[in-house]
Amino acid sequence: MLKNIFKIMLSIVLVFAWTTLSNARSWHFIEWTTDITVNDDMSINVIESFTVDFVPEVGFIRRNIDIKNARRIKNVKVYDESLVELGESNVEIQYNNDKIRIKIIAKPQNEKKKWLIKYKVCNAIELVESQDKAYAKLKWNAISSERQTTIDKIEVIINLPQPIQKEEIKSKLSIGMKGYESPSEDYELLNPQTLKFWGTDIDAYQNFIVQVDMPQSWFVKEEIIKSYIPLLLPILTFIGFFWKWWSGRRKPAIKKRVLPNYQAPEGISPISLYVLIYGKQSVNSFIAVLIELANRNYINIINEGKKDARSVFNDYSISIQEDYENRHGLRDYELKLLKQMFNSEKTIDLDKLRKGLYRNVSRINSNIWSELIRGRYIKSNPRELKRKCTIIGIVIFIFGVISMLFHKPIGFSLILTGFIVIMFGRRIFPITSKGRKTRLLGLAFRKYLIEESKSNDPIDPRLFLTYLPYAILFDLEKGWIKRFSDIQKKLPHWYITDGEESLYSILDFINALKSMIANLSSKQKI
């Protein structure tokens, strides 16, 4: 009984094996041709054409392409023998991590069919550094080791990127099962730029591996190029922000070459001109505004003598004209400043003014940007621009840190870009073309004040009060007052004192205000 069962099972196995071998031989590849074009970016373009002799039992053909050594395969397309691209109903293409799986759906009727597969392989060339020499190696398995049937004839053509002599190139062909390939001499150099490999009767599961060693000088590594592409973002960002900073930088080098100009630029206040030149407020802005308001008959400065030896601030008081709110010509920040200083009072002493000085100086600072924007000297408030750039830079920086977990070149690029946005955003001064021209005139006028303060030539006495606010802003008030001390004996109408009439009395008042601002600056940032 056991013998009969054994005979039946053996018969079934033999019949199955015979059927399999018969089918394997009856459906097979008659011809396989692979055409490889080597590109100088270390990629290859591959065209595979193969002819299959079918039996009706076979309904599809598989072609698996291995992916290894950081290779990437793209643009896979399948065509029939009429070079018509197959659609989704006739071919299935799966992109996996280790291989590309191609399944061609066929309906054979004991006939021969031909297909073409085209694709591009990135990073197909390996750069090798050996003790003898450095070279570029192409090693490619033209057929899949997972193939379950034979190939009658195979031919591989390799088109090189440049011509080469036979003695300068090294080729190798290996045929056999995976891990047991044997070398073959069936290859030749057809011409200085074309290699041919061939073989016959390739069994199922056998590889057909071609290898070509070429000069490294032929190639530009694709991955190196791509690794630098993300750096374009911080580079372009740097160029853009650098240009903005350079065109509107706060201390122009041109001030060293500018010629003196004896007139102040028209249409812009002294403190606005200072900000336009240096991109920041002067600590003397408050003093310059008071002197300018006095020149325009809005306030009087009263020197009451040594009322209190303990504090020089008690020696001075400031009174305001009664109808100042109804008069035209006050700038917005000047009107707000006067209302804040005096409230409902008509006279305040310097000691009381000191208590609200921080608020008054801040009011000037906040309004001066608006005046420059309205005059079209700058495009936007630099403080707002700084805040926006800081926020944007931090967001980009955070995205860069997160991206480092997935793609380091992109992450590093974003981190660097965020840093550039933050750093340059803090330094950009959004000056306009009109602002640049006015700034140049302001620098020329500043040079005039410097030179005139040291001159002994005759000068119009009326210029003393006109340009005193500018001299205060540029820290030139001492030389400017000295320049007119022998010419202008009488004090201006707005400076009231019972003591000796001397222009140096005005300098004492300015110094008292400077001392008050310096004490405040040590406690709070103005």
Q: Where are the domains of the chain?
A: 27-220, 251-378+429-521
Report pLDDT for 23: 46
Report pLDDT for 156: 95
CB distance 375 to 267 below 8 Å: yes
Give all strands of the β-sheet with 44-53 in edge-to-edge order: 72-80, 112-122, 44-53, 28-38, 151-159, 194-202, 187-191
CB distance 125 to 38 below 8 Å: yes
Calpha distance 44→267 (Å, rounded): 68
> 188 Cβ partners below 8 Å, 6+ apart?
195, 196
DSSP 125: E
Calpha distance 232→422 (Å, rounded): 18
- 128, two tokens: 């090798």
Report pLDDT for 20: 47
pLDDT in tens, the chain (526 residues): 555 665 566 555 454 444 444 444 457 889 999 999 999 888 899 999 999 887 666 677 888 888 876 678 888 999 988 899 988 888 898 888 778 888 888 776 677 888 999 999 988 888 888 777 888 899 989 888 778 888 999 999 999 999 988 878 888 999 988 877 888 888 899 999 999 999 999 988 899 999 999 888 888 765 555 666 787 888 888 888 888 888 766 555 444 556 677 888 988 999 999 988 888 887 788 889 899 999 988 889 988 776 554 555 667 888 888 777 777 778 888 888 888 888 778 888 877 777 666 666 666 766 788 888 989 998 888 888 889 999 999 999 999 899 888 777 788 899 999 999 998 888 888 888 899 899 999 999 999 999 998 888 888 888 999 999 999 999 999 999 999 888 877 888 899 887 777 888 888 888 888 888 777 665 555 4
Residue that has been written with the tokens 């010419």 in this structure? 487
> For 27-220, CATH number?
2.60.40.1730
Report pLDDT for 24: 46
Burial of 180 (0-12, 13-18, 19+ CB in 10 A): exposed
Buried b (16+ CB within 10 A) or exposed e, 482-514: ebbeeebeebbebbebeeeebbebbbebbebbb
- 137, two tokens: 């190696």
pTM of the full predicted structure? Answer: 0.57
Report pLDDT for 376: 92
Calpha distance 405→472 (Å, rounded): 56
Q: Which amino acid is at 515?
A: S
Q: How far is CA 410 from CA 222, 393, 396, 398, 423, in A?
A: 16, 15, 11, 12, 20
Nearest to 526 by CA among 357, 371, 380: 357
Buried b (16+ CB within 10 A) or exposed e, 314-336: bbbbbbbbeebeeeeebbebbeb
- Three-class SS state of 276: helix
DSSP helix, strand, coil percent of the chain (3-state; round to 5): 40, 25, 30
Calpha distance 368→381 (Å, rounded): 10
Question: Hey, how many other C-beta atoms are within 10 angstroms of the C-beta on 287?
Answer: 22
CB distance 348 to 318 below 8 Å: yes
Q: How far is CA 167 from CA 12, 159, 212, in A?
A: 57, 17, 13
Calpha distance 240→221 (Å, rounded): 29
Q: Which amino acid is at 499?
A: G
